[in-house]
Structure 1
Amino acid sequence: MGKATGFIEFERETADERDPLERIQDWKEYSTPFSDEVAKTQGARCMDCGTPFCHIGMEIEGATSGCPVYNLIPEWNDLVYRGKWKQALERLMKTNNFPEFTGRVCPAPCEGSCTVAIHDPAVSIKNIEQKIIDKGFENGWITPRIPKKRTGKKVAIIGSGPTGLAAADQLNQAGHSVTVFERADRAGGLLTYGIPNMKLDKNVVKRRIRLLEEEGITFILNTEVGKDLSAEEIKANYDSVILCTGAQKHRDLPIQGRKTKGVQFAMDYLTASTKSLLDSNLQIEEKWNAKGKDVIVIGGGDTGADCIATALRQGAKSIVQFGKHPQLPIKRDNSNLWPAFPNVYSLEYAHKEAKEKFGEDVRQYSIQTKQFITDENGKLEALYTVEMKKTRDENGRFVFEELPGTGKYWPAQLVLIAIGFEGVEQPVLDAFKVEVNRHRVEAKYGDFRTNVEHVFAAGDARRGQSLIVWAINEGREVAYQVDQYLMGETELPTVVNV
């Protein structure tokens, strides 16, 4: 695949990024796509490897390795190298319903398991993927696919995130009449309100939603099932129901001072910020506005990084991000072998911006927050932390120990808790009376049926907080099972051996 000696001849390139100090002045996407020529050169780096681990789509050491939607990566890399863009698009769309999303915001586990990455920088798979789909839209190759016939079966999908959208797309193409219910005022779930505009422009999301509507899918917004519409009514009017509600129950930090005003959940903050951008040109409530404030983000993941980028654009006075774990190594250590996801130090887009703004990396490692501090009026003014040491106990398990004498006070008027999600929110599940185990809907992967007749569950609601590519995987797979359930057979693709 690609050019036989391409990985030897050409160095890895990634998409150009706008100057950090310039881009924090607006909310436009921070990177620009490959040119045709750069994409071809990067496609040429794809090796003719015997086993393309880039699309193995499995979990190793608790992290995703390879592509969970099993993209035909070597095939479309080769086609891009040869300038066959339309054929590359056809190959890409065989496995991925929404490359414009994954090409922008996926952490690219495919690159971590790229064979080239054993000794050299991986092929720039993610950037090539984005280039293919963007070129498809630019050239008018992506048009509404209207199903030739309808089955007469109706499917209700609760939740319009990537799982719900993927399931809706697949089932609509199978000829079923699909209605997607969304409690928010815009479709897209976390694609719309959980990922800031500078990573994923909302016009990209709206373009896809509009295309799905043109293909026959109905979206009903501002409707919370179980509150605005009963589960019984849904079950009575649809032949099958799929719960794709996500895992949006925040993991909290129940320490002294937690109820203080100024301590917010990160996802609520990102949602409010995006709504202010879309609804009122950034007219936002004071409690969600970082302007002039000392901001602290608790949690070292992608959501925390998005909070940093958002606070920068709002005009924060200072920003610090706390992580519980030590700083990652610069290169893979001996315990993190290929093709596992590379747990190595990196500067994400937000960290680059913050470093340029404040002159240093804003991340602090091995930190544990112990208390939120208020002034005499009850307003948040600081928090108190201690440093932690990560060690292994006698059973080989990692444990954290506080280091004496490391207590420190940090000024803060806005604290954002970004330590993940516990699982599903309960009300809609109670309405459908589905079984829940460890904050997840009880439904076996590959089957997706709940304990309630003709009610299925998929995505983060079933598996817990995960990646967009896993969400699309589950949306496609649950669609296969629902189509088979409704029709007795199916022609939809599947990769699961049940």
Structure 2
Amino acid sequence: MAKEPMLKFVSVDRDMPEKRTADARKEDFGEIYAEFSKQKAEEQASRCSQCGVPYCQTHCPLHNNIPDWLRLTASGRLKEAYEMSQETNTFPEICGRICPQDRLCEGNCVIEQSGHGTVTIGSVEKYITDTAFDEGWVAPIAPTHERAESVGIIGSGPGGLAAADRLRRQGIQVTVYERSDRAGGLMMYGIPSFKLEKDIVLRRVKQLEDGGVTIVLNCNVGTDISFDDLRAKHDAVLIATGVYKSRDLQGPGSGSKGIVRALDYLTASNKVGFGDKVAEFESGELNAEGKKVVVIGGGDTAMDCVRTAIRQGATSVKCLYRRDRANMPGSQRETQNAEEEGVEFVWLSAPNGFAGDPVSGVMVQKMRLGAPDASGRQSPELIEGADYVEEADLVVKALGFEPEELPKLWGTDGLEVTRWGTVLADFKTHVTSLAGVYACGDIQRGASLVVWAIRDGREAADAILDQVNAAAAVAAE
């Protein structure tokens, strides 16, 4: 009888793939973690306890079959592990890189709660699909039959591409409309290469195009094509635009030169990584080289900005956040990586204005944590008389994102939105107030994680398939 390959958490310590030294990784934008070897992946997967109630799976938005593909990996059945991983997740190699596993699957691992250290789920997930690509196991999209129905998808981020993949596999004719010059949305331009190298995204885009998905770039809905024309052209339309409107700062000097939006800053850096000419980067406006940089915010976007500034050669990088470390919304793993690379975190600090034009400093108010707010987090309170000025040549606002006013932008009547400006849609079927129009991802739920957008895109695709199948059945009667 074969020896049980699992439950080795009591004898095998938790281990991550080798991480490049901080000094080495500050010199480029390459990913900081190496790949697991086959032996190491099997060893780490074998630590899974195969618990009866897998909290890792429950706390994954996609409800990935994590214990099952860990067991298959530990048993050397890697192709089967890949096939199982792909069943529930359109882009597992991307989630393995950028999901905040410390807050989701790994953060809820049963053996972590018992003091043995969580299974390194994300690293194994990344290894499985990277190996599948290397071995040629990732088959091209090849529908068993073609259908006449077509779907237009507005936006090529994770939600839009996940829906495109699922629809195309059923033979639906899919066209994705993207206003940028490359597909991928925030995966392409909003996330730095040290977390997600761009060839990883590009190979998925190529897989979709090779499988028959049409991607129309530099196409701005409302300008280059009207929303009504899209509705007339397709049997269904999916809104997957994401949210790109940056939250702003008020206060004296907030319009000064040298205060920039996080997305503008990250996009410029990623474009330069492709070899593009970016005038704002070359002029220094969106380049941290030789500057004292202050990033305002405590989420994952703020972590991306501070770590990008380090790599661009900033003389100092500080991150201001109005709460403490325990209450920040970003990944603790990313915070640790940033600290290793030389970022200084200034906790319990909030901006109250800006000195100079061009900016020369941030007027900082010191805070303390008071009573919990409606979400249960302690609310920051101002400490009187503790203000000071933090020197800065470049200030990056990483305060989160809000939806654009799509009905106004697209000149569309009848598309209902919530009081937050997100598209009003059912959270299971993703149906909006307009017939044949669906919404998914951040434009429906607000700024969130890539993994949630993938789930939404897959669900929306299934609902669209139900619609076109029902219409086809009626037509056949």
- With the length of structure 2 as denominator, give the TM-score of the two structures: 0.92
Q: Does residue 303 of structure 2 align to residue 305 of structure 1? A: yes
Residue in 2 that maps onto 1:338: none
Pair 256,112 (structure 1): closer, same or farther in 2 beyond 3 Å: same
Aligned equivalent of 2:183, options 182, 187, 209: 187
State whether residues 2 and 77 of structure 1, in contact with CA within 8 Å, keep that contact through their aligned partners in structure 2. Answer: no
Deviations 1:422-456 (Å, cap 9, x if unpaired)?
23453555446411112210001012111111111
In the aligned structure 2, how far is the partner of 1:236 from the partner of 1:55?
Answer: 40
Give the equivalent residue in structure 1 for 2:341.
353
Distance 2:413 2:54 in 1: 42
Is it true that 1:328 corresponds to 2:330 in the alignment? no
* Cα drift, residue 87 of structure 1: 0.5
Q: Which of 382, 389, 412 is 1:409 aligned to?
A: 389
Asked whether the equivalents of residues 391 and 398 of structure 1 are also in contact (C-alpha less than 8 Å), the reply is yes
- In the alignment, what sits opposite 1:156? 152
Q: Quick one: which amino acid aligns to residue 319 of structure 1?
A: V
* Structure 1 residues 2 and 430: CA distance shift in structure 2, 3 A: farther
- Partner residue, 2:73: 80
Is structure 2 residue 350 aligned with structure 1 residue 371? no
State the alpha-carbon separation in 1 of the partners of residues 93 and 413 from structure 2. Answer: 33
The one-letter code of the counterpart of 1:434 is L
- Within the alignment, does 1:457 sit opposite 2:433 as a pair? no
CA distance in 2, matches of 1:480, 1:239: 14
Q: CA RMSD in A?
A: 2.2
SS in 2 for 1:445: coil
Checking the alignment, whether the CA contact within 8 Å between 2:5 and 2:75 is kept in structure 1 is no
Report the Cα offset of residue 231 of structure 1.
1.0
Q: Distance in 1 between matches of 2:123 and 2:231?
A: 42
3-state SS of 2:354 partner: strand
**Which of 93, 102, 110 in structure 1 is aligned with 2:95?**
102
Matched, 1:467 2:449: yes
Q: What is the distance in 1 between the residues matched to 2:5 and 2:174?
A: 44
Residue 435 (1) aligns with residue 416 (2): yes
- Aligned-partner residue type, residue 50 of structure 1: G
Given the alignment, which residue of 197, 201, 204 partners 2:197? 201
- 1:495 corresponds to which residue? none
Aligned equivalents of 1:148, 1:478: Cα separation in 2: 21
Secondary structure of 2:128's aligned partner: helix
Task: Note the C-alpha offset of 1:475.
Answer: 0.5
State the AA in 1 paired with 2:305.
C
Q: How far apart, in 2, do the equivalents of 1:404 and 1:145 lie? A: 61
Query: What's the secondary structure of 1:387's corresponding residue?
Result: strand
- Map of 1:388 onto structure 2: 367
State which of 108, 111, 118 in structure 2 corresponds to 1:113. Answer: 108
Distance in 2, matches of 1:344 and 1:221, equals 36
> Is this contact kept in 2: 1:329–1:345, CA < 8 A?
no
For residues 385-428 of structure 1, what are the alpha-carbon distances to aligned partners after superposition, in whole Å with 9 as ceiling and x for unaligned? 11101111799884322112311111111000111112345355
Partners of 2:208 and 2:164 in 1: CA distance: 8
1:347 Cα offset (Å): 3.8
Give the AA of the match of 1:243. Answer: I
Distance in structure 2 (CA, Å) of the matches to 1:26 and 1:342: 23
Aligned pair 1:144/2:140, yes or no? yes
* Structure 2: distance between partners of 1:276 and 1:155: 33
- AA in 2 matched with 1:328: A
Q: 1:204 to 1:423 in 2, by over 3 A?
A: same
Call closer, same or farther: CA 1:244–1:179 in 2, change over 3 Å: same
Change (3 A) 1:343 1:171: closer
Q: In structure 1, what is the Cα distance between the partners aligned to 2:413 and 2:35?
A: 44
User: Any conservation in 1 of the 2:6–2:74 contact (CA below 8 Å)?
Assistant: no
Does the Cα contact within 8 Å between 1:369 and 1:386 map onto a contact in 2?
Answer: yes
Contact 1:297 1:415 survives alignment (8 Å) = yes
1:210 & 1:463 partners in 2: Cα distance? 28
SS in structure 1 opposite 2:13? coil
Aligned to 1:264: 260
Tell me the CA shift for residue 326 of structure 1: 1.5
**Structure-2 change in CA distance of 1:32 and 1:46 (3 Å):** same
Contact 1:2 1:44 (8 Å CA) reproduced: no
Matched-pair contact (CA < 8 Å) for 1:247–1:425: no
* 1:285 aligns with one of 283, 286, 302: 283
Aligned equivalents of 2:396 and 2:439: distance in 1?
Answer: 30
Give the deviation of 1:5 after TM superposition: 3.5
How far apart, in 1, do the equivalents of 2:332 and 2:377 lie?
21
Code of the aligned partner of 2:301: T
In structure 1, how many angstroms separate the alpha carbons of the residues matched to 2:442 and 2:373? 34
Pairwise CA distance, 1:344: 6.4
CA displacement 1:40-94 (0-9 Å, x = unmatched): 11111101211001111xxxxxxxxx11111110011001101111010011000
Task: Name the amino acid aligned to 1:89.
Answer: Y
Asked if the contact 1:388–1:400 (Cα under 8 Å) also holds between the matched residues in 2, the reply is yes
Q: Which runs of 5+ in 1 are unaligned?
A: 57-65, 331-340, 355-360, 491-498
